[in-house]
Amino acid sequence: MDNGGHLMSNTLERYRERARSWLAEHAPLYAGQARCGLSFKEDLDLARAWQALKAEHGYACITLPTEVGGAGGSELEKVVFSEEEMRYDLPLVYFSISLNNPLPIFLRYAPSYWTERLARPTVRGELIWCQLFSEPSAGSDLASLRLKAVAVEGGWRLSGQKVWTSWAQIADWGVIVARTDPSLPKHAGLTYFFVDMKSPGVSVVPIRRLGEESDLNEVFFDDVFVPDDQRLGEINGGFKVAVETLMIERYSVTDESGYAPSLEKFIALAEQSKINGKRALDDAEIRASIADVFVQRQGLRAIHRQALEAFAKGEAPGPEGAMRKLLLGRTRQSLSRMAMNIQGPNSLVLNEDSQAKTDFTSAWLDPSLRIAGGTDELLLNTLAERVLGLPQDSRPDKGQPFNANK
């Protein structure tokens, strides 16, 4: 490592120590036992208080400029802090969409008077955003969406439905893609907006999930007016902005331990459990699975390091992020399934406070990591085309007007 790299490493390690010390002092008041038994509203209030505290001390939205409430730090500092923060059972999930996807896009495209009004309250957790992309007929193929925006004096009228919208029920604002010109090919007739979720005509209906998580919703728009100054990007240029948003969503640079119970926790479970009267850890299939997951984890960490090196050079990570996300989702469910098999009937008892990142049964029940930001199938296509250079799938509607394919 050259002197520049050595100095950067030392600087990051000092930053990590400061972050670790700050978290050790403050995080326990907002994590673990502090959250047990809380109602949804109480946990959300605790989450807002934690976000406000981070903003006050320069740990909220670390990479955003100070003039919008961020810390003005580097991507590497954000990664370091996230790795340390993930060690605690903190109420971070309510802001997972809001701060990571809509906010950066909003800041990139919105008029300055809007960013001055909304950015700081969002960073502090006073405002929450949702991302309104998927529809009943437009999942992985986002360009097939049908929610329409009709031009009227001063703006647009939105009508249609979105689905699988995380935290729409608590969101103040949302980013949304709508079809503004059905006579154009499906990728070309879309426009990107941000919308007040309290507007007349917006209805949010919760989706009940198997694990009783309360994050997903259907959202209906009944002739909802959106001023034209709430448009992000060009008219009919929304697909480009949507792709930028999805690239942010698809490549998470936090450590893989933030998504599921760790391999070490699985090994500890196998040490304590019995199969046919013997330690589960002595079973050949269990040991082979541990070896497989360990090899995959080392590969994930190699991709993680590659991304960090790209960030350090001011570059963006490549499509290899699709590989990392694909393996994270698959490994979480396969390892959790084996953990449930080891535990037997006891694994069917789901604690009310269980979460996917700490409990194997909850992790197995929750397939969201294999859907959000691109399904497994979509990621495989990305890897085939952009990493392996294989030919694209046949797209018979390519270049055809959207309304010609009804």
The tokens for 141 are: 């193929």
C-alpha count within 13 angstroms, C-beta hemisphere, residue 26: 18
- Contact criterion met (CB below 8 Å) for 203 and 119: no
pLDDT in tens, 122-165: 999 999 999 999 999 887 788 899 999 999 999 999 999 999 99
Closest residue by Cα to residue 60 from 68, 72, 73, 51: 51
- Cα dist. 152→157, 208, 227, 334 in Å? 7, 36, 9, 51
pLDDT at 253: 41
**pLDDT at residue 298, as a whole number:** 84
Query: Cα(186)–Cα(96) distance, rounded to whole angstroms?
Result: 29
- Residue 242: HSE in the Cβ half-sphere, 13 Å Cα cutoff: 28
Buried b (16+ CB within 10 A) or exposed e, 205-222: eeeeeebebebbbbbbbe
Tokens representing 3 are: 């002197």
Beta bridge mates, 179: 148, 190
Helix (H) or strand (E) holding 203: strand 202-206
Fold held by 129-246: Butyryl-CoA Dehydrogenase, subunit A; domain 2 (2.40.110)
SS3 (DSSP) at 202: strand
pLDDT given for residue 402 in this prediction: 78
Which of 388-398 are b and which e, b meaning 16 or more Cβ less than 10 Å from the residue's Cβ?
Answer: eeeeeeeeeee
Per-residue pLDDT of the chain (406 residues; tens, 9 = 90+): 455 555 557 888 999 999 999 999 999 999 989 999 899 999 999 999 999 999 999 999 998 999 999 999 988 898 889 889 988 989 999 998 999 889 999 999 999 999 999 999 999 999 999 999 999 988 778 889 999 999 999 999 999 999 999 999 999 999 999 999 999 999 999 999 999 999 999 999 999 877 667 899 999 999 999 999 999 999 999 999 998 887 766 554 444 555 678 888 999 999 999 988 899 999 999 999 999 989 988 887 777 777 767 766 666 666 767 777 788 888 888 899 999 999 988 888 877 767 777 888 888 888 777 777 678 888 888 888 888 888 887 777 777 787 776 5
For residue 2, the model assigns a pLDDT of: 52
Please work out, in degrees rounded to the nearest 5, the angle formed at the alpha carbon of residue 27 by the alpha carbons of 24 and 30: 155
Give the predicted TM-score (pTM) of the model. 0.83
- Cβ–Cβ contacts within 10 Å for residue 405, how many? 12
User: With b meaning 16 or more CB within 10 Å and e meaning fewer, what string describes 302-336?
Assistant: ebbeebbebbbeeeebeebbbbbbbbbbebbbebb
Q: For residues 144 and 132, what is the distance between their CA atoms, to the nearest angstrom?
A: 14
Q: What is the DSSP string of 349-372?
A: ---TT--TTT-HHHHHH--GGGTT
Chain position carrying tokens 């009783």? 212
pLDDT tens digits for range 311-320? 666 666 667 6
Amino acid, res. 132: L
Domain at 251-387, CATH from 3.60.150.10, 3.40.50.720, 1.20.140.10, 3.40.50.300: 1.20.140.10
* Burial of 173 from C-beta contacts in 10 A (0-12 / 13-18 / 19+): buried
* C-alpha to C-alpha distances, 120 to 55, 81, 109, nearest whole angstrom: 9, 20, 16
Domain map (residue ranges) of the chain: 3-95, 129-246, 251-387
| pLDDT value of position 1 | 47
- Rg, C-alpha atoms of the chain: 22
The greatest distance separating any two alpha carbons of the chain, rounded to the nearest whole angstrom, comes to 75
